[in-house]
Every structure is written in structure tokens, then in C-alpha cells.
């Protein structure tokens, strides 16, 4: 309930709060039916090798297109789905669709792209996760090594001992694991030593605060390499940032500079164009990643 603020301003706030609460309720109800109404789609954003600039993989990013509310961003509906216990079904759909799509692209174009799928805190705690991953791989025929799961630091740290158990189970399937949004939370390299992680994804905000030219970032990337982690920079928008990160030994990059997240058909066109461009630039095509 809105409170009287003494100056009568509640008269303005109360309707706004009601609207927000109403929208939330409507979204909750709509989310419940979004899967069966086929309102979800995956967009794919390329992840490129910073030396060869080749696309090595893609990240699957979930989109919810509602006929009335329009396009609802994941940062708005994922937390809602977590709260309402719907993330399990949605996550299962994402895993299945992402593996299927990338298997299709790899077969069709003779590629070996990997696909990264985001896994939320609640999904990580679900006893279902390992089975879901196994099923998605078996149904699609995508090799386990081509699937990467992105986990956030905050989700892992909630219960580190349990996380270690779950991650070991996932590693036993043969998938790759990455830490997403590194630098937004606790950001301690010491806990990473305890986890069977393959990839560190540096968050865009972290990179904004720690420009690639500075020694701190260079050292952090060096430490990650000591821990046998591959380092990916998120949110690269400018060429200068890309070059500085590459000079700091960052392995891969993702961001609007290379490509925005896009639907599957646009990704196919992007990859075909990339392949064509490479045929015209022999110096790029002979460069081997790492």
C-alpha cells in the first residue's frame, strides 16, 4: 500500500505502484503459458577468437515475445521464472533448442561451433539439471564437448560445496563450464581453484572499470591462464577495446563490435558471410586459433 508522504504526493505514486503490480501479475500469468504458446525464441551471439577473429561459438540468449506486452527482456522475466518455479521447464527447453540449432548449423556448414547456455542459480540447485543436459545432448546428437554451461559467481557461491558436486557431475558428462559475469560479484580467483571450470567470462561493467591497458587486468588474465582457464571478454563494442584485450592476452571476445545476438537464420547468413570474407583474406584463413 502506498503511504501518505505528508505532501499529498501519494496521489501520484499509488496509481504507479498499482500499475507495476498489475503488470507483474499479468506477466506472471502470461509466463505460465509462454512455453505452450511458443513465445520463446533463442537468439545467438557469436564469440570470436581475438587473434584470428574467427567465430568459435555462440551464446544462446533467450527472448520472450508476447503478443500484447511485446518483447520482454530476460533480465525482467528470468528472475520472475525463478521465483515462480518455472525456470526448470524453460531451462529444459533452452538446452534442447540450443543443442538442436547448433548441431544443425555444424552439420549443414561443416563447422564445429560450440554453444553456451546460461544456467541460473535455481537451475544449478535443481536435481534435474544433469539429466536435462544429458537428454539435450542425446536428443540432438551434439557432442558434449560442444556444449558450454555459463554459471554466475553468485549462484556458485551460494553453496560452494554443493556447487562443486553439481559441477563435477556436469563435467563427467563432458561439457565445458564457464563463469559468467566475472567481476560483478565476489570476484575471488581463489574459489575458482576449487571448481572444475574451463572458461572465465569478464563482465562488460568490469572491463569498463578496468581498461584493458592496465596492469591489473593483464595480471588477472595471466592468473586465469595459470589456472588453465580460457578468458572471454563480454560486451566489446569498440575496436580499440578489442585490440587492447588481445594485447592483454585475452583469448576470446563477444560484443556488438563483432555481432549482436540474432535469430538462427541471421546467424546462418552471418557465418556464410564470414566464410566468404575469409576466402578473400588468405592471411586470416591460415591463422590457427592458439
Q: Name the residues that contact Mg ion, by CB under 5 A.
A: 118, 150, 180-181, 203, 234
> In the complex, what is the shortest distance from the CB of residue 213 to ligand C2E, in angstroms, rounded to a whole number?
19
Least distance from ligand C2E to the Cβ atom of residue 143, Å: 21
34 vs 286 by CB, closer to ligand C2E: 34
In the complex with ligand C2E, the residue whose CB is nearer, 204 or 218, is 204
Binding site for ligand C2E (CB under 6 A): 45, 61-62, 73-75, 78, 94, 118-120, 150, 180-181, 204, 234-237, 254-256, 261
Distance CA 253, CA 56 (A): 10
Supply the DSSP symbol for 57. E
The values of phi and psi at residue 179, to 5°, are: -95, 120
Q: How far apart are CA 266 and CA 58, in angstroms?
A: 13
Q: For residues 98 and 142, which CB has a smaller minimum distance to Mg ion in the complex?
A: 98
User: Cα–Cα distances in Å, from 1 out to 14, 19, 83?
Assistant: 8, 12, 22
Write out the three cell numbers for 83.
521465483
What is the rounded end-to-end Cα distance, in angstroms, of the chain? 59
Nearer to ligand C2E, 75 or 280 (CB): 75
- Closest approach, Cβ 202 to Mg ion, in A, equals 9
Among ligand C2E, Mg ion, none, what binds residue 142 when CB lies within 5 to 8 Å by partner kind? none
How near is the Cβ of 123 to ligand C2E at its closest, in Å?
A: 6
CB of 78 to ligand C2E, least distance (A): 5
Cα separation values, 89 from 35, 62, 116, 128, 164, Å? 8, 13, 18, 10, 24
Whichever of 30 and 267 has its CB closer to Mg ion, that residue is 267
From ligand C2E, Mg ion, none, interface partner of 30 (C-beta below 5 to 8 A by class): none
Question: Which entry of Mg ion, ligand C2E, none binds 78, CB below 5 to 8 A by partner kind?
Answer: ligand C2E
User: Residues 95, 136: contact at Cβ < 8 Å?
Assistant: yes
Geometric angle at alpha carbon 148, from 185 and 219, rounded to 5°: 45
Amino acid at each position: 500500500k502506498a503511504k501518505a508522504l505528508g505532501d499529498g504526493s501519494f496521489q501520484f505514486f499509488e496509481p504507479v505502484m498499482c500499475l507495476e503490480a498489475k503488470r507483474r501479475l499479468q506477466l506472471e500469468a502470461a509466463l505460465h503459458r509462454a512455453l505452450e504458446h511458443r513465445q520463446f525464441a533463442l537468439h545467438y551471439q557469436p564469440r570470436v577468437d581475438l587473434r584470428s577473429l574467427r567465430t568459435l561459438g555462440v551464446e544462446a540468449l533467450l527472448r520472450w515475445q508476447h503478443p500484447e506486452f511485446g518483447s520482454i527482456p530476460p533480465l525482467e522475466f528470468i528472475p520472475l521464472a525463478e521465483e515462480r518455479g518455472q525456470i526448470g521447464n524453460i531451462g529444459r527447453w533452452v538446452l534442447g533448442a540450443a543443442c538442436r540449432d547448433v548441431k544443425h548449423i555444424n552439420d549443414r556448414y561443416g563447422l564445429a561451433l560450440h554453444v553456451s547456455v546460461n544456467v541460473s542459480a535455481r537451475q544449478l540447485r535443481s536435481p534435474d539439471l544433469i539429466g536435462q543436459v544429458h537428454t539435450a545432448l542425446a536428443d540432438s546428437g551434439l557432442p558434449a564437448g560442444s556444449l558450454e554451461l555459463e554459471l554466475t559467481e553468485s549462484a556458485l557461491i551460494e553453496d560452494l560445496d554443493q556447487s562443486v558436486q553439481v559441477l563435477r557431475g556436469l563435467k563427467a558428462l563432458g561439457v565445458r563450464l564457464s563463469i559468467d559475469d566475472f567481476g560483478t560479484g565476489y570476484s575471488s580467483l581463489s574459489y575458482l581453484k576449487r571448481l572444475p571450470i574451463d572458461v572465465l567470462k569478464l563482465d562488460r561493467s568490469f572491463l569498463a572499470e578496468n581498461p584493458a591497458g592496465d596492469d591489473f587486468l593483464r595480471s588477472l588474465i595471466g592468473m586465469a591462464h595459470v589456472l588453465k582457464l580460457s578468458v572471454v571478454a563480454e560486451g566489446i563494442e569498440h575496436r580499440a577495446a578489442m585490440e587492447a584485450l588481445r594485447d592483454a592476452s585475452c583469448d576470446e571476445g563477444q560484443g556488438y563490435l563483432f555481432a549482436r545476438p540474432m535469430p538462427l537464420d541471421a546467424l546462418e547468413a552471418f557465418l556464410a558471410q564470414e566464410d566468404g570474407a575469409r576466402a578473400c583474406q588468405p592471411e586470416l584463413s591460415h591463422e590457427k586459433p592458439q
